[in-house]
Amino acid sequence: MSQIPPTPTNLRGAVDLSGLVNRPQAPAGATADAAVPGEAIQLPSLFFQGTDANFNDFIDLSMRVPVVVALSASWADPDRRLATVLDTVTSDLAGRVVLVQVDVDANPQLVQAFQAQSVPVVAGIVAGRPVQLFAGAIPEDQVRDVVAQLLELAAQNGVTGTAKVDAATGEAPEGEAAEPEPEPLPPLHAEAYEAIDRGDYPAAIAAYKTAIAQDPRDTMAIAGLAQVSLLDRLAGRTIDEIRTAAAADPSDREAQLAVADLDLSGGHVDDAFDRLLTLFPTLDAAGKEAVRARILEYFEIVGVEDPRVGKARARLASLLY
């Protein structure tokens, strides 16, 4: 039975990355030549900023060395913490993978190509083909396990090159400014991240709740609480268990809430909203309040500016009034 989060599989749907346009020069040393087993590929860095304009360069690079792609939003606390974990894992692998960070707010074509319906989303590219890795912030040990599986997949496809960075030129690619050092996190946010790293979701929830109590306008803590609460509800459960329970009793509120959590964690945002909004009119007052609260959590996870949130909010309002 499949555990959550899932191990690498193909990206959902038919992802067509070849439609991206405006291909500039490839990163130094990266060409679409046939891979040579174990070859050293000279690059200016192991870390890149991917954009709608330059992403095909990294598809070319994936023919020779595996590429890890992190789609995230700079304003989201879990995304920032995951970025630090991915930087550490990439550095430790010493060129066996290259990391490409993508700002979802600035690159809508990549968001569509990877079907990134929530953030953060992490994928891989091996031999020009995308591979889904995971969604959401997960502990460092799990990140290492998933990247290890990506390396196994790459080896099976003959992609075993290693990126080498020239110490004299090991800087951001030409034409790109080096990424600024992130500001230190507020203490309670840092405490929450440390708890997430060790898989202690209740401790992270407590830290975020304290942050919100101290500042009810702390939007990053509100979003972080919603995301880690979702992780906590799904921890230790299997996909089969959740879906079987929901199918067995469509009127079971808790079972339907659980499968909606599962849908959202897998990026099926519309399915999650539709399930709960369809269930809502059938419930008593207490049930309606529980579902309403869960939907509001989803708004924070998906992002209040997302058009799917706007549609779900309008539908919820019509049911309430």
Measured CA to CA, the distance from residue 248 to residue 254 in angstroms comes to 12
Measured CA to CA, the distance from residue 69 to residue 147 in angstroms comes to 11
Question: What confidence tens digit (pLDDT) does each residue in 221-242 have?
Answer: 898 899 889 889 988 888 889 9
Cα–Cα distances in angstroms (integers) from residue 68 to residues 61, 126, 139, 194, in the given order: 11, 9, 17, 23
Burial class (CB in 10 A: 0-12, 13-18, 19+), 321: exposed
Spatial strand order in the sheet of 9-10: 9-10, 129-135, 121-126, 67-72, 98-103, 47-50
CATH number for the domain formed by residue range(s) 187-320:
1.25.40
Measured CA to CA, the distance from residue 87 to residue 85 in angstroms comes to 5
Instruction: Tell which residue, 74, 204, 75, has the closest CA to residue 138.
Output: 204
Place of tokens 């099976």: 156
Place of tokens 């799904």: 234
Measured CA to CA, the distance from residue 315 to residue 310 in angstroms comes to 9
Helix (H, G, I), strand (E, B) or coil at 296: helix
Report pLDDT for 223: 87
Instruction: Tell which residue, 23, 26, 119, has the closest CA to residue 69.
Output: 119
Measured CA to CA, the distance from residue 105 to residue 1 in angstroms comes to 35
Residues in the chain predicted with pLDDT less than 70, given as ranges, are 1-38, 77-78, 166-183
Ramachandran angles phi, psi of 298, nearest 5°: -60, -35
C-beta of residue 116 within 8 angstroms of C-beta of residue 104: yes
Report pLDDT for 266: 72
Which residues, 6+ apart, have CB-to-CB distance to 243 below 8 Å?
259, 262
Measured CA to CA, the distance from residue 318 to residue 277 in angstroms comes to 10
Report pLDDT for 15: 33
pTM for the structure as a whole:
0.51
The correct answer on CATH 3.40.30.10 for the domain covering 9-165 is yes
C-beta of residue 276 within 8 angstroms of C-beta of residue 257: yes
DSSP per residue, 188-257:
HHHHHHHHHHTT-HHHHHHHHHHHHHH-TT-HHHHHHHHHHHHHHHHTT-BHHHHHHHHHH-TT-HHHHH
Instruction: Tell which residue, 113, 154, 158, 126, has the closest CA to residue 62.
Output: 126
Number of neighbours of residue 54 by Cβ within 10 angstroms: 22
Q: Where are the domains of the chain?
A: 9-165, 187-320
Residue 149 structure tokens: 């599986």
Beta bridge partners of residue 224, listed in sequence order: none
